[in-house]
Amino acid sequence: MSAATLIARDELRLLRRNRVAVIATVLLVLLTLVAVATSWAHQRGIADLRARHQHAAEAAFKAQPDRHPHRVVHYGTFIFRPLGPLAAFDPGVDAFTGNSMFLEGHRQNSANFGDVRQSSLLVRFGQLTPAFVLQIVAPLLLIFLGYGALARERERGTLRLLMLQGVSRGSVVRGKLLALGIVAMIAGLPAMVGFVAMAGQPGALALPMLVTALGYLAYLALWVVVILLVSALVRRGRDALLALVAIWAVTAVLLPRVAPDIAGAAVPLRNRLQTDVAIARDLRRMGDSHNPDDPHYAKFKADVLARYGVTRVEDLPVNFKGLQSVESERLSAALFDRYSGESHAAQDRQIALVDAAGVLSPAIAIRALSMAAAGTDFAGHRRFLDQAERYRFALVQRLNHMQADAVSYADDSAEDPGADRRKRVSAANWQAMPDFAFAAPSGAVLARAALPGFGIVLGWLALAILLLSLATRRLGGNR
Amino acid sequence: MTLWLHEWRLLLRQRLPVFALALLAALTVAALAVGLAEVTRQRAAIAAIPAAQAEDIAAVAAFVDQKQDPGSAAYYSFHPTWDAPAPLAFAALGMRDVSPHILRVRALGLEAQVWDGDTFNPELALPGRFDFAFVLVFLAPLFAIALFHDLRSGEREAGRERMLDALPVARTLWRRRTGLRFVLLWAALGLPFAVAAAIAGVAPATALAVLLLIAAYCLFWVGLAALVGRLRWSSVANAATLAAAWLVLVLIVPTMANVAINAALPVTQGAEIAMAQREAVNRAWDVPREDTMRRFYAHHPEWADSAPLGPAFHYKWYLAFHQNGDDSVAPRVRAYRAGLEARDRAGRALGWVLPSVGVQGLLTRLAQTDLAAQLAYQDRIRAFHRRLRTFYYGYLFRDRPFAKADFARAPRFGNEPDS
């Protein structure tokens, strides 16, 4: 048996005898199990609820009576963001974004009813999820168990004794690394077991799960190395503990809050009121359907009449009002795309700034990795928003075309008592409308999105290992 | 007094406490600056409303004036509402980043509008804001731990404890030493806060309450450190125990309680209200219009003497069924709100036993950035919406034309009539 293994065994035996260490480890394991169970139950509950709501919304849409197509444009439809299986591991921004959207003509509504506005103030203290336990809590446990690994030996003079007996510095450090690494594995194991259990769900993808598992492995390994590094460098055990807790507080608690605030101040977002007013202004410039003398709509009308070779809209074989609706929806949707594109680009820039802060705090990097792989980051929400807008536009235009083809211009303009009946099209049309189906991203897309965070964590790990090997060479030297 | 000075000099010679206090003061100043900047940004956004609004409403007025239909005016006019930050909001930004503080409404069904959100980046909101409340609730205890974990054990490990205890003034010495560190801890948080509060124009009584709150919260952690110190463990064991206590009290119990509260107090989902309201509103197109008007007049008899509907479309019918839609979900809205309040109450109740939650709850209450403040804003929106409806009904149900000049007569948010 090598010296390193012996030292690892000895360290683990010491930890086993340390009642506080054992209790703390057991508590962490229990906490992780609770987190896995509640988070999973929560995710399943939400997924069921949203599926039920989605079903109810689709049923309501299809159960509509005979209606004028434009009524259906305003009746609109509700869609709900589905939740991927890995959201049970890391729900990311799910609670902070609205998860239901009302889709209707002429308007782009916000996603509403996020959990953050439906929960008590405690929601801002963080969410108990396996990801939270691994990112924030587990490193602190490792600090408590490992800060003294080398500092203690030096403080008590046992390090010299070991070296006098011919144990190399490298063996000592490797042994301690092994021991603390095993503790880290024990701490991370329940979360990984839950992770694998979640993988049994339909829709779970191998590639992002692999990146997530490797990412957390590297993250915990990084903490193990950093703990030993500080323990090797600092003269007293107490100083090692305080320094490590300070490093932890700065990287895991402070920076993840400071970075977003800086990013938010650096890249301001246009608020909804200003966006709506700007869209209305642009819309008026492009073509004002309320203005009878508007050049855009005058030209549009002339073009339509010329295309059909008639001189009056009444003589068109199609309903001109429907065509006008198609045109006005086309114009407004283009503006919605432009403005939401600008807003999303600004938010992406904010997130890029925060991600850059991952260079200072591996906790930020692992969070980005974890959310990206789970598809619960802003990019995941944006996928939903983009698909929702595409679906909204297609649905509204289908209805507008229906108005053009199935409702005659004469009926549409009539106001006699029977006109309301003649304007309506058959309810069978609503049943023929396709439902919203969220196209989930492929595993490769999610895994690729997680790579930058993974790279940063690996870079940190490499740097820490390098520093530890340098510190090892000077371990136990005269001071 | 000289003894205090000696104690002060002694403290200055130690690296850890001096560094910790300086860092805490720096973090406090940074957090206050972030908070003040954020509140300034919110105020600027509110100050920018009138210009944008004037442009928007002028365009609506230009085209409505052609036919002078009050219904078109009601349909196309969005009216701004806003929730200006309270003077203390900079200290605890609370929910203001995830709930809108500007919302435009029109005289149509309010339940389809009042739950809308503003644009915000969820990834930035997720970790919580770096505000004074965060520094106080999350970080200050760590600094208290750094300052107090070895107060006695440090002297013991240096071999001086017995000698110090043998002094006739031992008790006052320990009291003085604890007192000095406590005052400095409090000052590192309180003095920058007091300056920021003066800049922001916080009422003296409120600022004093916060200063007392800071003292009480610090006292809790100092007391906890003293309790742990009584066990006569080593400095290292004290530090580890206190840090573990911090982890449990500030991070773990609140997150677990959040799960428990949300599971124990289910709320009817807001989305269900929105769907029910839409169903109620749109059904009006498929039922006799007289039924809609009868229902509306039953709830709002003051308009019942309006002329009967003709065969053509009339906006008073349109607005009536929107109001009916709101009325039909009113019980659900009350239940939803009661559910939110129950969750909030449960969270606050936890504050009685958990200082971290208690301080956060009190600060956001004083700063008017909590759920109660959001709901109060909603109440003001609802009251304003009532005024809006009544204003447009006055034209619609009396068939008065709505000219350009009438746009200026519309109610404005914020200047409620004295009644």
**Would you call B289 helix, strand, or coil by DSSP?**
helix
Contact B255 A125 (CB under 8 A): yes
Query: How distant is the Cα of A122 from the closest Cα of chain B, in angstroms?
Result: 6
Structure confidence at residue A66 (pLDDT): 94
Nearest CA in chain B to A348: B121
Average of per-residue pLDDT across A347-369: 95
Contact A277 B115 (CB under 8 A): no
Contacts of A74 in chain B (CB under 8 A): 282
pLDDT higher than 80, residue B415: no
> Nearest to residue B350, comparing CAs of B273, B266, B255, B244?
B255
pLDDT single digits (tens) A153-193: 888 888 888 888 888 888 999 999 999 999 999 989 998 88
Structure confidence at residue A477 (pLDDT): 65
Nearest CA in chain B to A138: B247
Interface test with B, best of A113, A122, A351, A370 (most B CBs within 10 A): A122
pLDDT higher than 60, residue A135: yes
Average of per-residue pLDDT across B244-254: 91
Query: How distant is the Cα of B1 from the closest Cα of chain A, in angstroms?
Result: 32
Query: How distant is the Cα of B139 from the closest Cα of chain A, in angstroms?
Result: 8
Which of A117, A254, A288 has its CB closest to that of B98?
A: A117
Contact A117 B99 (CB under 8 A): yes
pLDDT single digits (tens) B381-393: 999 999 999 999 9
Q: Strand pairing partners for A104?
A: A107
Band the pLDDT of A1: cuts 50, 70, 90: low
Contacts of B78 in chain A (CB under 8 A): 276
Average of per-residue pLDDT across A224-250: 90
Q: With the CA atoms of A135, A139, A140 and A146 taken in that order, what torsion angle do they form, in degrees rounded to the nearest 10?
A: 180
Contacts of A119 in chain B (CB under 8 A): 258, 261-262, 343
Band the pLDDT of B7: cuts 50, 70, 90: confident
Query: How distant is the Cα of A256 from the closest Cα of chain B, in angstroms?
Result: 6
Nearest CA in chain A to B282: A75
Distance of alpha carbon B283 from the chain centroid: 37
| Long-range contacts at A331-336 (CB < 8 A, ≥ 24 apart) | A331/A283, A331/A286, A331/A287, A332/A106, A332/A279, A332/A283, A333/A389, A333/A393, A335/A279, A335/A282, A335/A283, A335/A286, A336/A108, A336/A279, A336/A389
Which of A116, A265, A291 has its CB closest to that of B37?
A: A265
Region of residue B277 (left: phi > 0; alpha: psi -120 to 50; beta: else): alpha
Which one is predicted more confidently, A64 or A98?
A64
Query: How distant is the Cα of B417 from the closest Cα of chain A, in angstroms?
Result: 25
Average of per-residue pLDDT across B7-19: 83
Return the structure tokens found at A150.
Answer: 């080398």
Interface test with A, best of B23, B76, B134, B252 (most A CBs within 10 A): B252
**Cα–Cα distance, B389 to B385 (Å, whole number):** 6
CB count within 10 Å of CB B419 equals 3
Which of A49, A57, A350 has its CB closest to that of B124?
A: A350
Query: How distant is the Cα of A170 from the closest Cα of chain B, in angstroms?
Result: 26
pLDDT higher than 90, residue A116: no
**Full domain range(s) for residue B309:** 1-419
**Cα–Cα distance, B250 to B255 (Å, whole number):** 9
Which one is predicted more confidently, B165 or A439?
A439
**Cα–Cα distance, A272 to A184 (Å, whole number):** 46
Structure confidence at residue B320 (pLDDT): 95
Contact A96 B271 (CB under 8 A): no
Nearest CA in chain B to A76: B278
Contact B27 A254 (CB under 8 A): yes
pLDDT single digits (tens) A122-133: 888 888 899 999
Nearest CA in chain B to A57: B275
Contact A122 B282 (CB under 8 A): no
Give CA separation, B151 vs A180, A256, B380, in Å: 30, 31, 52
Query: How distant is the Cα of A308 from the closest Cα of chain B, in angstroms?
Result: 30
pLDDT higher than 90, residue A316: yes
Average of per-residue pLDDT across A426-443: 92
pLDDT single digits (tens) A184-235: 999 899 988 888 888 777 777 889 999 999 999 999 999 999 999 999 998 8
Whole-model pTM: value is: 0.92
Structure confidence at residue B276 (pLDDT): 92
Sign of CA dihedral A300, A304, A309, A314: negative
pLDDT single digits (tens) A37-93: 888 888 888 888 899 999 999 999 999 999 999 999 999 999 999 888 889 999 999
Query: How distant is the Cα of B204 from the closest Cα of chain A, in angstroms?
Result: 26
Contact A113 B274 (CB under 8 A): yes
Q: Strand pairing partners for B80?
A: B104
Band the pLDDT of B418: cuts 50, 70, 90: very low
Which of A113, A121, A381 has its CB closest to that of B270?
A: A113
Give the A:B interface size as CB pairs under 8 Å. 269
Average of per-residue pLDDT across B211-225: 96
Which one is predicted more confidently, B150 or A102?
A102
Query: How distant is the Cα of B168 from the closest Cα of chain A, in angstroms?
Result: 31
Interface test with A, best of B118, B236, B283, B360 (most A CBs within 10 A): B236
List the alpha helices (DSSP H) in B149-288: 153-157, 161-166, 170-200, 204-230, 235-246, 253-264, 270-283
Contact B258 A127 (CB under 8 A): yes
pLDDT single digits (tens) B23-77: 899 999 999 999 999 999 999 999 999 999 999 999 999 989 989 999 999 999 9
Average of per-residue pLDDT across A267-280: 95
Exposed, middle or buried, A345 (CB in 10 Å: 0-12/13-18/19+)? exposed
Average of per-residue pLDDT across B113-135: 92
pLDDT higher than 90, residue B193: yes
Band the pLDDT of B419: cuts 50, 70, 90: very low
Which of A75, A98, A257 has its CB closest to that of B278?
A: A75
Contact A238 B239 (CB under 8 A): yes
Q: Are A261 and A367 in contact (CB under 8 A)?
A: no
Which of B48, B118, B270 has its CB closest to that of A118?
A: B270
Which one is predicted more confidently, A388 or A196?
A388
Structure confidence at residue A257 (pLDDT): 92
Residue with tokens 């009904």: B393
Q: Are A417 and A365 in contact (CB under 8 A)?
A: no
Contact A121 B360 (CB under 8 A): yes
Contacts of A137 in chain B (CB under 8 A): 247, 251-252
pLDDT higher than 50, residue A402: yes
Query: How distant is the Cα of B14 from the closest Cα of chain A, in angstroms?
Result: 13
Domain tally, chain B: 1
Contacts of B246 in chain A (CB under 8 A): none
Contact A125 B56 (CB under 8 A): no
Average of per-residue pLDDT across A401-425: 89
Q: Which residues, at least 6 apart from A24, have a Cβ–Cβ distance to it below 8 Å?
A: A141, A144, A145, B244
Contact B240 A20 (CB under 8 A): yes
**Cα–Cα distance, A249 to A297 (Å, whole number):** 61
Helices and strands (H, E) in chain B, number of each type:
19, 2
Contacts of A350 in chain B (CB under 8 A): 121, 123-124
Which of B55, B120, B259 has its CB closest to that of A128?
A: B259
| CB half-sphere exposure, A447, CA atoms < 13 A | 13
Contact A140 B240 (CB under 8 A): no
To the nearest whole number, what is the mean pLDDT of chain B?
92
Query: How distant is the Cα of A284 from the closest Cα of chain B, in angstroms?
Result: 9
Q: What percent of chain A has pLDDT over 90?
A: 62
pLDDT higher than 50, residue A479: no
**Cα–Cα distance, A256 to A189 (Å, whole number):** 25
pLDDT higher than 90, residue A416: no
